């Protein structure tokens, strides 16, 4: 954890313009300015090992965000089972939602990246959001990061009831993603059991790799289950 005294002297630092920029964005002064600058440095601008990208911070931030959201949902829904909590958490920390959060916070104005049409710019911003969480955790510790996520992100930018009620069409979502990214995809269905008690087993294959499986008495529900697993594997 960074020295908390650094934050006190941030307004008088030679880098006070940078400190003020992050203060306006986050609501607090960074202790270790380099961490926050690194959080917004995409790998496309890194040319050597002496200028690290935000990928390691993204890895850490993903874990911290998942832990905080899991604990929040566990407390908010004391009578819901593991399946419900897992689905709701997946929707909240989905790449689509993190991209949206990043844009709401204005992170697109801070990210350093090379302009490349082949690169999904929205994904870059969602990655930067996770890296930012990682930077805050290293700089300020878990409790501070938890308060930041709950009081500045969840409280003002997430409608939990909307996520709870949202019935995602994972099959359509997967198909749209594969068509957009020009990926080959296939739903393979196997029927088992007698006509009055038939079970449909569905496998989703993307670019010749099995990414999801689902089984149900309804073919549509089996497809949705398999597609949901595939969407999670593709982080969409």
**Contacting residues for 206 by C-beta, under 8 A, at least 6 apart:** 174, 178, 183, 184, 185, 230, 234
Catalytic, out of 58, 62, 139, 228: 62
Q: C-alpha distances in angstroms, 83 versus 44, 151, 201? A: 38, 26, 20
The CA distance from 41 to 51, in Å, is 9
Active site (annotated) includes residue 130: yes
The CA distance from 79 to 59, in Å, is 31
Which candidate, 172, 154, 171, places its Cα nearest to that of 163? 154
Catalytic, out of 130, 139, 223, 228: 130
The CA distance from 80 to 82, in Å, is 7
The CA distance from 6 to 31, in Å, is 5
Active site (annotated) includes residue 62: yes
Place of tokens 């009578």: 79
Residues annotated as catalytic are 62, 130
């Amino acid at each position: 954890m960074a020295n908390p005294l650094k934050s006190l002297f941030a307004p008088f630092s030679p880098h006070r313009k940078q400190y003020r920029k992050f203060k306006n964005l986050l609501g607090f002064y960074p202790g270790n300015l380099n961490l926050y600058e690194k959080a917004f440095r995409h790998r496309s601008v890194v040319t050597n090992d002496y200028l690290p990208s935000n990928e390691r911070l993204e890895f850490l931030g993903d874990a911290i965000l998942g832990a905080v959201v899991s604990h929040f949902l566990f407390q908010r829904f004391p009578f819901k089972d593991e399946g419900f909590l897992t689905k709701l958490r997946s929707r909240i920390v989905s790449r689509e939602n993190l991209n949206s959060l990043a844009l709401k916070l204005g992170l697109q104005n801070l990210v350093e990246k090379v302009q490349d049409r082949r690169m999904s710019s929205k994904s870059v911003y969602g990655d930067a959001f996770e890296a930012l969480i990682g930077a805050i955790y290293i700089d300020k510790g878990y409790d501070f990061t938890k308060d930041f996520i709950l009081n500045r992100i969840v409280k003002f930018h997430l409608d939990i009831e909307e996520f709870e009620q949202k019935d995602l069409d994972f099959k359509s979502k997967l198909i749209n993603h594969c068509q957009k990214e020009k990926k080959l995809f296939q739903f393979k269905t196997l029927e088992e059991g007698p006509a009055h008690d038939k079970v449909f087993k569905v496998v989703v294959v993307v670019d010749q790799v099995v990414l999801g499986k689902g089984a149900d008495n309804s073919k549509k529900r089996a497809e949705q289950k398999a597609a949901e697993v595939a969407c999670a594997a593709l982080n969409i």
